[in-house]
Structure 1
Amino acid sequence: MAVKEQFLRIEDVALQLGVSQKIIRKHIHSGALKSTKTFGVHYIKPKDVTVFKNSGVLDAKPKKQLPQKNTKSIKTDVVNWADISENWENPSKTKLTSADLFCGAGGMAKGFEMAGFTQVGGLDWFKEAGMTYRENFEHPHILGDITERSVKDKFINTVKSSLNGKPLTVLSGGFPCQGFSMSGSRIVEDERNSLYKDMLQIIDELQPQFIVAENVKGLRSMLKGKVEDKIKEDIANLGYQVNVTVLNAANYYVPQKRERIIFIANRIGKKNLHPKPLLTPDKYITTKQAIEDLVTLKDDAAFNHVRTKHSDAMKKRLAKVPEGKSLYDNYSDSWKKCPWNEASCTIKENHGGVNIHPIESRVITVREMARLQSFPDDFIFKGAKGKQMVQIGNAVPPLLAKAIALAVRETLAI
């Protein structure tokens, strides 16, 4: 009778070899350690661990890198800044329209709505985010997988029906981009990038006048800038002029330092404009200004303000975390304590880890997260509390979206 071979996970191999999991991942990606990947998890055969251990790779000293000239890619953005200050307070209602792919709970949609746009459709697969979206907006929301042709058709037909023959002004979306890699001098895409390619397909079929694409700042450094260049090239090949730069949400009254790369493109021969910052760092809205009043507010589930109950031991640990630092060394991007008298650090939900309250020994509530993301208090989140936190952590801050939308309005006014 054959005995089924037992597979090891990355943490098992790291423990066995006395190194960090990061080092094991690095050698898997380099091909030095063989593994099988199933549902996003690497599994390693014990015999392959032995081969790897005997190869001497772990014992090899890293080669000293000699300084090289002209090897660092330096990007210089061509940015046209729009002064949106005069229209910030009370933007007039317009006939401009917008629709949103990967819409989540609706941060981008809310911002465009604040800027006077009429939203005509949103699409996302996240069930609980869809519940939130439908709770807060009257326009159609399509729940489904964008990779399915029937879902694409439903979204496109819904948008076209709402437009009644008129062009769509803006199509926005924050697309995943993990699946880019290099093959020689050529960028290739794996199956994880189907979502990005589906977005391009919908752009091509809907032909919006403008595209607004949002992503994490780290995209700029992917493959030494080549990923950003490919995205710009792909959009340009659809007939659009593209401009891109990084915007900090705190510059637009969001009480949070959150940097995002923003692509703005149009196919109507206009000059793309990005919103000129409204605030300087010394004028940023602080965490205290945003959530201080909620400290004395009793728990209220209908208002999404329910405190997490921690053990006494955990409360003591949370109290000792310095502002701007994380509870765990291995998770620097989660369980981070917000500064009280500055704009908050980036708001995230990372596998249950959310930001720590600056003056109370607990993590922040859903409503506090929403405030720091600039959602208005009448924006109500649906689903289980953990799902609500994921929705907010993934959202585009509405006030950042509002600033971008006002810049598009300025573009059209030229």
Structure 2
Amino acid sequence: MDNNTQLLRIEDVATKLNVSQKSVRRYIHSGKLLSNKIGGVHRVEESALEYFVQKSLFAPEIEDIEIIPPKSTKTDSINWVDISDEWDNTQKLDLTSADLFCGAGGMAKGFEMAGFNQVCGLDWFKEAGMTYRENFSHPLIEGDITKREVKDKFINTVKEKLKGKNLTVLSGGFPCQGFSMSGNRVVEDPRNSLYKDMLEIIKELQPEFIVAENVKGLRSMLKGKVEDKIRTDIESLGYKVNVTVLNSADYYVPQKRERVIFIANRIGKKNQHPAPILESDSYITTKEAIGDLVKVKDNPKFNHVRTKHSDDMKERLAKVPEGKSLYDKYSDSWKKCPWNEASCTIKENHGGVNIHPIEPRVITVREMARLQSFPDDFIFKGTKSKQMVQIGNAVPPLLAKAIALSIKQTLKK
């Protein structure tokens, strides 16, 4: 690049292309539009913009784009697919999904946003069921998945809704604490029966795709043998499996939340994970997500009610640095969200939720929901503490949307 080269800002490019700045950032991150990073800010040469326009006009379906994958805890064999073009223009197709361990419905909401027809959910958590029914029109089976009658009710409901068609996707975030070792073999104890029940339902429903979500720590359990066993168990049912770690913040979730995502299919397709849309310097910040709620009055119907703390507690909360916890022994609870960055992982840990960055209090249910990317018309039911548990345990809807769009892209090919 010589000194006479004209450099364009993101907003300049957006004006020239008549698109949003968000779209320009996607083009840059996907590798479609070349840029130079100067002082941490992207600048685009006019020649690079001209090339992008020509390529878009004459080769709109080009697929040989180099996509930089996110960092993972393993060297994964992953196929990354660009979902950025469809993010704001999702089309409803004849694709179906169902959700085990559905909780309040984060995964279901994300698949719905991506244009899937959700047919059924299953969970045992009473208050989460109240929330699920409040926000969705499709059936929820509430009960213990380990009981045969509950499994049968879920399977029969799904089949009834499908009317003879195949289920496109079955998803679930199964508990994984019940793995242990016997010699060189991974075994399950009674706590892990839920995982085996999920495998049983997969075997009976035969969905085309499986999406399994879990905490990042699963990858290091028993030195990686737990992940290998899960992969092997799913493959034994006739599925091809790919797995990696996705960071929710890469997909417009205002929160750095990493999760292990297994994607599997039995129809001979190449499994694809969604390529990151945002770079770390473009993440949605806590301020952008919840800053306006500081001026919003308490409203139980909107799930926005501030916790009343003592003066002593307010003083202590105000002194906690961003990203740090109120208690040294509990680093994952009572942690203060950073204001001008994507939030730290949102949790509810025995009453300990995240601390508001600029007010001496913990965040409200609605603020938690915003940081998990739930839309404002998604209303949570139950007591305030139960609402917080639901949100802390949920899959961020926008992460689920990204996964769903990657499956749609796979099926289109």
CA separation in 2, counterparts of 1:205 and 1:362? 48
Aligned alpha-carbon RMSD (Å): 0.6
Letter of the 2:342 partner, please give it. Answer: A
1:188-216: CA deviation from partner (whole Å, max 9, x where unpaired): 11001100000000000000000000000
SS at match of 1:123: strand
SS at match of 1:227: helix
CA separation in 2, counterparts of 1:373 and 1:75? 26
| 2:311 aligned partner | 312
1:91-149: CA deviation from partner (whole Å, max 9, x where unpaired): 01111000000000000000000000000000000000000000000000000000000
Letter of the 2:145 partner, please give it. Answer: I
| 1:23 aligned partner | none
How far apart are 1:76 and its partner, in Å? Answer: 1.6
CA separation in 1, counterparts of 2:340 and 2:178? 39
Letter of the 1:222 partner, please give it. Answer: M
| 1:125 aligned partner | 124
| 1:224 aligned partner | 223
CA separation in 2, counterparts of 1:280 and 1:251? 7
Alignment of 1:6-405 (within 5 A): 75-405=74-404
CA separation in 1, counterparts of 2:300 and 2:270? 46
Letter of the 1:133 partner, please give it. Answer: Y
Letter of the 1:370 partner, please give it. Answer: A
CA separation in 1, counterparts of 2:267 and 2:196? 23
CA separation in 2, counterparts of 1:183 and 1:103? 31
CA separation in 1, counterparts of 2:259 and 2:180? 22
CA separation in 2, counterparts of 1:378 and 1:295? 18
1:257-307: CA deviation from partner (whole Å, max 9, x where unpaired): 000000000000000000000000000000000000000100000000000
Q: Give the gaps of 5 or more residues in structure 1.
A: 1-73
| 1:12 aligned partner | none
| 2:62 aligned partner | none
CA separation in 1, counterparts of 2:256 and 2:269? 30
TM-score by length of 1: 0.82
How far apart are 1:75 and its partner, in Å? Answer: 3.2
How far apart are 1:345 and its partner, in Å? Answer: 0.0
Letter of the 2:152 partner, please give it. Answer: D
CA separation in 2, counterparts of 1:168 and 1:121? 11
Letter of the 2:389 partner, please give it. Answer: V
CA separation in 1, counterparts of 2:308 and 2:236? 53
State the structure with more CA Rg. 1
Letter of the 1:402 partner, please give it. Answer: K
CA separation in 2, counterparts of 1:83 and 1:75? 22
CA separation in 2, counterparts of 1:189 and 1:139? 33
CA separation in 2, counterparts of 1:131 and 1:94? 28
SS at match of 1:113: helix
How far apart are 1:352 and its partner, in Å? Answer: 0.3
1:219-245: CA deviation from partner (whole Å, max 9, x where unpaired): 000000000000000000000000000
TM-score by length of 2: 0.82
Letter of the 1:97 partner, please give it. Answer: T
SS at match of 1:264: strand
Letter of the 2:259 partner, please give it. Answer: R
Q: Give the gaps of 5 or more residues in structure 2.
A: 1-72
CA separation in 2, counterparts of 1:276 and 1:369? 26
CA separation in 2, counterparts of 1:181 and 1:154? 31
Letter of the 1:83 partner, please give it. Answer: D
Letter of the 2:136 partner, please give it. Answer: F
1:298-330: CA deviation from partner (whole Å, max 9, x where unpaired): 000000000000000000000000000000011
How far apart are 1:90 and its partner, in Å? Answer: 2.2
SS at match of 1:246: strand
CA separation in 1, counterparts of 2:125 and 2:329? 28
Letter of the 1:333 partner, please give it. Answer: D
CA separation in 2, counterparts of 1:403 and 1:172? 14
CA separation in 2, counterparts of 1:108 and 1:114? 10
CA separation in 2, counterparts of 1:186 and 1:202? 24
SS at match of 1:99: strand
CA separation in 1, counterparts of 2:111 and 2:401? 5
CA separation in 1, counterparts of 2:278 and 2:344? 17
4+ residue segments displaced more than 4 Å: none
